[in-house]
Amino acid sequence: MQSKGLIKFLVIVVSLACLYSLSFTFVTRKVENDAAAYAKGDMEKEKAYLDSMASEEVYNLGIAKFTYREAKANEIALGLDLKGGMNVTMEISLNELVANLANNSKDANFNKALNNAVVKSKTSNTSFIDLFLDEYKATGSGTPIASFFATKDNASSIQATSSEGDVRNFLNKEADNAIQNSYKVLRTRIDKFGVASPNIQIQQGTNRILIELPGVNDEERVRKLLQGSAKLEFFETYNNTQIYALLENINGTLANSLKGEKPAVAADTTTKAIADTTAKEENLLANLSAGKTDSAKDTTQTVANATALANNPLFAVLSPSFYQAENGQTQLIPGATVGYANLKDTAKINQYFARPEVKSIIPANLKLLWAVKPETRTPNILALFAIKTSGPDNAAVMTGDVITDARDGFDQNNKPIVSMEMNAEGARQWRRVTAQAAQNRDAIAIVLDNVVYSAPGVNEEIPNGNSQISGNFSIEDTKDLANVLKAGRLPTTAKIVEEAVVGPSLGQVAIDSGVNSSIIGIIVVMMFMIAYYNRAGIAANIAVIFNVFFLMGILASLNAVLTLPGIAGIVLTMGTAVDANVLIYERMREELSLGKSMRQVVSDGYKHALPSILDSQITTFLVGVILFFTGSGPIQGFATTLMIGIITSLFTAIFITRLIFEYMLSKEMKITVSFPWSDHTMKNANFPFIKKRKVYYIISLIAIVISLGAILTKGFSYGVDFQGGRTYTVKFDQAVSAETVRENLDNIFGTTTEVKTFGSESQLRVTTSYHIEDTNDEADKEVLAKLNEGLSKVQGNNYEILSQQKVGPTIASDIRDRAIYASILSIVVIAAYILIRFRKWQYSAGAAIATVHDAIILLGLFSILDGIVPFSLDIDQHFVAAILTVLGYSVNDTVVVFDRLREYLAKPNAHQESMDSTINKAINSTLSRTVITSLTVIFVLAVLFVFGGEVIRGFSFAILIGIVVATYSSIFLAAPSIFDMSAGKHLADSAKPEPKKQAKVVTP
């Protein structure tokens, strides 16, 4: 084995890297277990404990130290289906954006086009901007579309003479800006909400934003928080010198009112380590103000001192904005910043400010607002600003609707700045505001959603509304601020169009099911490998253990979110992980039968099996790539696990088992690849597959006809993500009749309701299309109220709603179309790969025939068995993932046969044997590998089906049945069809050397 030392080094490095990545999960779990033990079931106390630990050092590696927050960011996060929480898809209202850009034009054709575009967007994958422009063109209006957008506010981008292409580019750019700004606003709101490990991402190519909030149980608050319109405002500010006396007053008031009350949780839970770290951060605050490294030692002791904490409750968590003058005296820093606080303490400070006795002494025209994020040099410290409100309604001096443009750029010193332009009315207001601010040397705060994005000082009056905002900005900061300013005049609402809520109890069941199925799956695979392959099976089992370890480590390093389909992917990977080993071992058994030495057997076994291993795994990997880019949420999690699992399986099967064999050879240990009972299993198989191929064709044709008949007549039961609507998982205390519940709900909703038993007889899944077009809060409340009314009619049987999901018709249409595209694309990509790899169209066509066959029969079985089997067979995203996985596996099996056929055809005397005999020999020689690999995967899937839980039972059933069908097609259809498509022509003819032409002898 060449490069043995390099491979050993690589195994060690990868192992250490995976151990490092996984260690963060162990650390955070320990902290969270400590929090749970301290809180004893009190969720508020547990959250306060974790908040207090956010900036504390919990992991020390010597060369690197990590706080709880940093460790949390590097752990394997659990998805909603495992942890419980809320999953929301927000859709940005681009119709509002277009209307605002046109100053809400009253033109009939313009508004007709806008309304038509809204309707068509619900069932089309075309972008809203393109739909709108196409609809306007269809109205036949003689008014150029550019004239609607050629306003004063858009003067720098669009003129009345601009082309339709210019308008399209302008609208697309503004739409992208609106989506990006909505993303930033939603990110800020979520961060303020205090969710641990939130996930928020823009769905590329759409106007949608996906938000996952694990652990959230206040759905109403989340909906209200996310759907409010963002409002950009400009405020005058107070100077720190004007506010400090008030802060002292608040501090004294709190000290008096808190006497006799129970000490704060933060004080209760503060250990010596927490106190030490808090002291360091208070030092950092003092250093930020004073610019020195030793100016806050006394303050450190004060914070750590319990007596001082009681006397100074506010200043214990809020550091006033001070600096140390040259004479050693502490002075207030001029400006709008009045204090700094650790991120973990901001919630407590807000609680202090909200107390009645404190609110009574805060002037009505003063707002204390936090900065949007910490400064780069102080990552855990947030600034507090003193905002001055104006007028009798205590409003802002200006709002963002006066801004016409904002750009990020650089000043003459190449420092990042933001340039801002206003309309005429805005310029007049800005002149007045800046004149007053410059006279008083005050700042102007730019506030979005009650969060301060910037508070620049004003040096002089700005007369024309054109301003430059400079400061300690990064390039990213200026881009963000420019987007925020531009969005001020174009308020676009974000609506919830898809939603899923999973209760923690259902999440715990999912965790238990996933863990159980994983453990049992590993045991089943290991037992089978040892039972069939003897000592070689032990080597394969070691590789499987390394494979799972590497897989989990890589998932952790990628900050992947582990979902229930992801666990299914891990379990499935355990089954397919032995595929490469099976190929190697079966080849080794062939080499042994030729009488070679064991060293030569090992070497040739790996050498000859490698092409088949690579081809079979690459095709499955390609399916994973397609799933990743076309799926969303849990399906992406499954695809990620599948792709990583293929890579780690290849690494462990090819290298780790080889290292084990090399070690055994060096120690002269006996290597065995079978037991006496398994040594001759299908060894000399000679089944007449080609001779009997027409019988198998007829069987497949009958199965396809029956499947298509069921599909066309009975159809499918579509999941909510394919048809839209709302789905609820309901658990009753006792067994309940699904038919009785359905009748009650049909009467309440006035429409047909789908009610299915979900797992046990006391658990149901209810799906309704009532108010399917309405995704607003009022419709949600009405549907839930009617659901409760119907469920409550089941007398003497209490119930609990464990989870709920809402999918709007637009989302459902999009998901359905993407699923169809993904399936077609998978078949095309696989066929293309095989064509490139084998260079003959017959191979590509044979693989395509097998995959289409498998897909039709699997669809047909789901249609036929729906309503017969006691579990859900809905066609949804999980089913699409399953069917694509089956297609990948089908080609995996097929490619192994093709590789052996190619090997036989490449031999010098291949053309001397008939084509049907060569194909038949290729199928028979790989039969053992095909059957053994299928059996290992079937064993694992059977475990997943039984123990994996109800949520993925249909998913695992689809793959389980699909593997059986795929094994059939790879043996009985794929390779035999090559014989018929070659029309008797031997595919080795092209490799046959042309006979040499003899020279003609001319007799003179």
* Phi, psi of 581, deg, nearest 5: -65, -40
Looking at the structure, tell me whether residues 544 and 630 fall in a common domain: yes
Q: In the prediction, which pLDDT does 261 show?
A: 62
Looking at the structure, tell me whether residues 786 and 910 fall in a common domain: no
Looking at the structure, tell me whether residues 445 and 329 fall in a common domain: yes
Query: Is the pLDDT score of 1002 beyond 50?
Result: no
What is the number of other CB atoms lying within 10 angstroms of the CB of residue 210?
18
Looking at the structure, tell me whether residues 521 and 614 fall in a common domain: yes
pLDDT in tens, 931-956: 888 888 888 888 888 887 777 788 88
Instruction: Give the residues across from 322 on adjacent strands.
Output: 332
Pick the closest to residue 602 from 557, 545, 666 (CA basis): 666
Stretch 791-814: mean pLDDT, rounded?
79
Average pLDDT, the chain: 81
pLDDT in tens, 483-521: 777 766 555 677 877 777 777 666 677 777 777 887 888
Q: In the prediction, which pLDDT does 285 show?
A: 31
Stretch 664-688: mean pLDDT, rounded?
83
Q: What tokens appear for 205 in the block?
A: 């190519």
The length of the chain, given as a count of residues = 1004
Q: In the prediction, which pLDDT does 169 show?
A: 92
Tell which of 229, 251, 272 closes a domain.
Answer: 229
Query: Is the pLDDT score of 704 beyond 90?
Result: yes
> How buried is residue 696: exposed, middle or buried, by Cβ count under 10 Å (0-12/13-18/19+)?
middle
Looking at the structure, tell me whether residues 251 and 367 fall in a common domain: yes
d(CA 575, CA 937): 4
Looking at the structure, tell me whether residues 742 and 638 fall in a common domain: no
Which range among 375-384, 633-642, 960-969 has the greatest average pLDDT?
Answer: 960-969
d(CA 613, CA 138): 55
* Phi, psi of 572, deg, nearest 5: -65, -35
- Work out the pLDDT band at 467, boundaries 50, 70, 90: confident
Q: Are strands 467-469 and 725-732 parallel, antiparallel or unpaired?
A: unpaired
Residue 687 lies in a domain: no
Q: In the prediction, which pLDDT does 560 show?
A: 78
pLDDT in tens, 519-569: 888 888 888 889 888 899 899 889 888 988 999 999 888 877 787 777 777
Query: Is the pLDDT score of 993 beyond 50?
Result: no
Q: Which residue has the tokens 């332009």?
A: 421
- Expressed as residue numbers, the domain containing 955 is 503-675+692-713+814-990
Query: Is the pLDDT score of 247 beyond 70?
Result: yes
Q: In the prediction, which pLDDT does 458 show?
A: 84
Q: In the prediction, which pLDDT does 630 show?
A: 78
Query: Is the pLDDT score of 812 beyond 60?
Result: yes
Q: In the prediction, which pLDDT does 369 show?
A: 92
d(CA 326, CA 776): 60
Query: Is the pLDDT score of 698 beyond 90?
Result: yes
Residue 1003 lies in a domain: no
Tell which of 494, 519, 539 closes a domain.
Answer: 494
Looking at the structure, tell me whether residues 327 and 432 fall in a common domain: yes
Q: Directed axis angle between helix 634-651 and helix 535-557, to 10°?
A: 130
Q: Which residues of 432-470 are buried (b: 16+ CB within 10 A; e: fewer)?
A: ebbeebbeeebbbbbbbbebbbbbbbbeeebeebebebb
Residue 686 lies in a domain: no
Q: In the prediction, which pLDDT does 713 show?
A: 92
Q: Which residues of 326-340 are buried (b: 16+ CB within 10 A; e: fewer)?
A: eeeeeebbebbbbbb
Residue 1000 lies in a domain: no
Q: In the prediction, which pLDDT does 289 show?
A: 32
- Work out the pLDDT band at 250, boundaries 50, 70, 90: very high
Torsion sign, CA atoms 521, 524, 529, 535: positive
Q: Which residues of 301-320 are buried (b: 16+ CB within 10 A; e: fewer)?
A: ebbbeeeebebbbbbbbbbb
Pairwise pLDDT comparison (814 vs 20), residue with the higher score: 20
Residue 743 lies in a domain: yes
**Total domain count, the chain:** 5
Least confident of 5-9, 204-208, 288-292: 288-292
d(CA 370, CA 451): 6
- Work out the pLDDT band at 263, boundaries 50, 70, 90: very low
Q: What tokens appear for 542 in the block?
A: 């070691």
Query: Is the pLDDT score of 279 beyond 50?
Result: no
| Dihedral over alpha carbons 305, 307, 311, 316 (to 10 degrees) | 20
- CATH number, domain of 803, equals 3.30.70.3400
Cβ within 8 Å of residue 978, ≥6 positions away: 842, 843, 846, 901, 919, 987
Looking at the structure, tell me whether residues 823 and 907 fall in a common domain: yes
Pick the closest to residue 276 from 48, 541, 67 (CA basis): 67
Residue 783 lies in a domain: yes
What H or E segment, with its residue span, contains residue 87? Answer: strand 85-92
Q: Are strands 366-370 and 330-332 parallel, antiparallel or unpaired?
A: unpaired
Report helix, strand or coil for 539.
helix
Q: In the prediction, which pLDDT does 295 show?
A: 36
Torsion sign, CA atoms 413, 415, 421, 426: negative
d(CA 544, CA 554): 15
Q: In the prediction, which pLDDT does 277 show?
A: 33
Q: What tokens appear for 631 in the block?
A: 């799926």
Cβ within 8 Å of residue 510, ≥6 positions away: 81, 82, 564, 949, 951
Residue 912 lies in a domain: yes
The answer to whether residues 76 and 556 touch, using CB atoms and an 8 Å cutoff, is yes
Least confident of 584-593, 659-668, 867-876: 867-876
Cβ within 8 Å of residue 940, ≥6 positions away: 521, 524, 525, 571, 572, 574, 575
d(CA 200, CA 202): 7
**What percent of the chain is modeled with pLDDT above 90?**
12
d(CA 135, CA 704): 42
Looking at the structure, tell me whether residues 251 and 221 fall in a common domain: no
DSSP state of 772: T
Tell which of 767, 785, 807 closes a domain.
Answer: 807
Question: Taking the mean position of all CA atoms in its chain, how far away is CA 27?
Answer: 23
Q: In the prediction, which pLDDT does 168 show?
A: 92
Pick the closest to residue 970 from 887, 856, 906 (CA basis): 887
Torsion sign, CA atoms 575, 580, 581, 586: positive
Query: Is the pLDDT score of 298 beyond 70?
Result: no
Q: Which residues of 27-40 are buried (b: 16+ CB within 10 A; e: fewer)?
A: bbeebbebbbebbe
Looking at the structure, tell me whether residues 203 and 274 fall in a common domain: no
Residue 113 lies in a domain: yes
* Phi, psi of 896, deg, nearest 5: -60, -45
Looking at the structure, tell me whether residues 36 and 158 fall in a common domain: no
Q: In the prediction, which pLDDT does 760 show?
A: 75
Q: In the prediction, which pLDDT does 866 show?
A: 86
Looking at the structure, tell me whether residues 448 and 527 fall in a common domain: no
Stretch 64-89: mean pLDDT, rounded?
80
Cβ within 8 Å of residue 890, ≥6 positions away: 850, 851, 854, 962, 965, 966, 969, 970
Q: In the prediction, which pLDDT does 246 show?
A: 93
Least confident of 348-352, 703-707, 882-886: 882-886
Q: Are strands 561-562 and 77-78 parallel, antiparallel or unpaired?
A: parallel
| Dihedral over alpha carbons 294, 299, 304, 308 (to 10 degrees) | 170
